[in-house]
Every structure is written in C-alpha cells, then in structure tokens.
Amino acid sequence: MTLTGKTVSHYEILSKIGAGGMASVYLANDLKHGRQVAIKVMNSDIGASIGTTRFLSEIETRVRFNDNCARAVCECRLLKTDK
C-alpha cells in the first residue's frame, strides 16, 4: 500500500523517502502547521505479526534521546487503514 498522494489526518503525503524491514518513511506537508515533516508508517504485515509494541517502544526511545542531528518527534498515533 502506498500513501503517496493521500491525506492522512492533517498530513498531505508527498513521496516515499525510505523503507526498512519494519516501516516506510514518507515526506509530507503538515497542513495544520505549514511545515514539511517525515512520517514513519509501520508495514501492515509487521504490525499483524508482532503488533505495535516494538514500534511504539522505538518512538518512546527516540523521544527520550536528545540529538542535534535528528528532528524531534512531534506526534505519535495509531491509525487503522484499509488495504
């Protein structure tokens, strides 16, 4: 499933900018705040097999980690999507 060209919540998905074994990363316009953001989306097959615990744990770890080379986590939520 690709999100490119779709709007999810207040994010307009522009393009896929990366992918790994667990998730894909998209460049998006934050229509609410007028800025570009990266959105990490867990692959649905991974979510079905291992659940969301590891994914959310990774986000929590990132929030606690303060590094000038990486951007801040602005929002985290679970959304159900149709395939």
Give the model confidence (pLDDT) of 17-54 as tens digits.
999 887 888 999 999 999 998 888 877 776 666 767 77
The structure's pTM equals: 0.71
- Token pair recorded at residue 64: 């606690």
| Least trusted range by pLDDT, from 55-59, 63-67, 74-78 | 74-78
The confidence score (pLDDT) of residue 16 equals 95
Each domain of the chain, given as residue ranges in start order, spans 7-64
Q: What average pLDDT score do residues 72-80 get? A: 61
Q: What average pLDDT score do residues 59-66 get? A: 70
The confidence score (pLDDT) of residue 14 equals 97
Q: In degrees to the nearest 10, what's the CA dihedral of 37, 43, 48, 49?
A: -120
CATH tag, 7-64: 3.30.200.20
